[in-house]
């Protein structure tokens, strides 16, 4: 399917690995000019080179921390008028006990998962409105809709982000600016590899065995974790011309783990 976004400018925050990388790759395949931000300069550079070589698209690395005002200014200077905005960040750590979360844990996490995407949309969406075309997709978490104690640092801020973005979506939809959220469950990403690789070393098992245990314990009907590149393709669909009548939606992508009819 041709999404009709060739030569559109796409800004993907937190796109050097995982689901952000998957989104950047999918947009590059569609011919968009992709600006990818991340803090790790080496990994970001390697990712941009790989995507450019694979797709032939223009892929620009922007080394910046989007959770800070200074980092966002660096991003805006590199890509001042994006047609597409993908907000994403490394997931907060799993939490075993809600009482162990400090005020500083909350503040640093809110800066990344809520305040940063809000500030990005506040700065970028007006230009989209003025030009009469724009797409915003926030990559959140299924825990925003289906709370769990192990994801308590991740779910509440993303639930607030969904609330904000849906309210904003209603205000700007008439200008052909569509804002949606994609809420993933468990996918194979760099952070997942690090976490479950460490568990495997600790328990004398393998990465696959630890993944299978999680799948069984959490009753994931698909019987597996998701693929980050496949997830990126779903994000890209929300950025296409064909998504011009889809806004304010929050799609959960979790292999059927959550229990809901809608």
- Using left for φ > 0, alpha for ψ between -120 and 50, and beta otherwise, residue 253 falls in beta
pLDDT of residue 97: 79
* Alpha carbon distance 66, 78 (integer Å): 13
Range with lowest mean pLDDT among 88-92, 129-133, 198-202, 205-209: 88-92
Q: Which of 112, 87, 94, 83 lies closest to 182, judged by CA?
A: 87
The answer, yes or no, to whether residue 91 has pLDDT greater than 90, is: no
Average pLDDT over residues 241-262: 92
Using the CB atoms, write b or e for 174-194: b if 16+ within 10 Å. Answer: ebbbbbbbbbbbbbbbeebee
* Largest distance between two CA atoms of the chain: 57
Q: Residue 66: what are its φ and ψ, rounded to 5°?
A: -70, -5
Burial of 8 (0-12, 13-18, 19+ CB in 10 A): buried
Distances (CA, A) of 131 to 6, 11, 120, 134, 143: 17, 16, 17, 8, 34
The domains found in the chain, sorted by start residue, are 9-186+228-253 (3.40.50.720), 187-224 (no CATH)
Average pLDDT over residues 233-258: 97
pLDDT of residue 154: 87
- List alpha helices for the chain, DSSP H: 18-29, 41-55, 69-78, 103-110, 116-131, 155-172, 190-203, 207-217, 228-237
Q: What is the pTM of this model?
A: 0.95
* Alpha carbon distance 168, 146 (integer Å): 22
Sheet containing 59-63: which strands, arranged edge to edge? 59-63, 33-38, 9-13, 84-87, 134-139, 177-184, 250-253
Asked if 87 and 36 count as a contact pair (C-beta separation under 8 A), the reply is no
Average pLDDT over residues 210-214: 97
The answer, yes or no, to whether residue 96 has pLDDT greater than 80, is: no
How many of the other CB atoms lie within 10 Å of CB of 56? 11
Q: How confident is the model at residue 148 (pLDDT cuts 50, 70, 90)?
A: confident
* Alpha carbon distance 58, 218 (integer Å): 40
Q: Which of 48, 27, 145, 153 lies closest to 90, judged by CA?
A: 153
The answer, yes or no, to whether residue 136 has pLDDT greater than 80, is: yes
Q: Which of 59, 57, 54, 80 lies closest to 15, judged by CA?
A: 59
* Alpha carbon distance 123, 31 (integer Å): 25
Distances (CA, A) of 245 to 38, 178, 240: 31, 8, 11
Strand 9-13 to 84-87 pairing:
parallel
């Amino acid at each position: 399917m041709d999404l009709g976004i060739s030569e559109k400018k796409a800004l993907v925050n937190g796109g050097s690995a995982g689901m952000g990388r998957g989104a950047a790759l999918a947009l590059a395949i569609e011919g968009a000019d992709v600006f990818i931000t991340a803090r790790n300069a080496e990994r970001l550079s390697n990712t941009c080179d790989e995507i450019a070589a694979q797709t032939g698209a223009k892929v620009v690395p922007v080394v910046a921390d989007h959770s800070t005002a200074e980092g966002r200014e660096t991003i805006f200077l590199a890509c001042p008028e994006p047609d597409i905005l993908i907000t994403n960040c490394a997931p907060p750590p799993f939490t075993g006990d809600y009482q162990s979360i400090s005020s500083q844990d909350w503040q640093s996490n809110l800066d990344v998962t809520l305040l940063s995407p809000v500030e990005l949309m506040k700065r970028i969406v007006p230009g989209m409105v003025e030009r009469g075309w724009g797409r915003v997709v926030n990559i959140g978490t299924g825990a925003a809709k289906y709370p769990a104690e192990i994801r308590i640092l991740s779910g509440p801020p993303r639930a607030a982000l969904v609330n904000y973005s849906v309210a904003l979506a209603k205000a700007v939809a008439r200008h052909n600016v569509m804002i949606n959220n994609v809420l993933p469950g468990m996918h194979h990403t760099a952070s997942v590899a690090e976490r479950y690789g460490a568990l495997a070393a600790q328990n004398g098992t393998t990465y696959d065995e630890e993944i299978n245990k999680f799948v069984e314990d959490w009753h994931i009907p698909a019987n597996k974790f998701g693929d980050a590149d496949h997830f990126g393709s779903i994000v890209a669909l929300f950025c296409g011309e064909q998504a011009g009548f889809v806004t304010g939606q929050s799609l959960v992508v979790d292999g059927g783990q959550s229990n809901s009819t809608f």
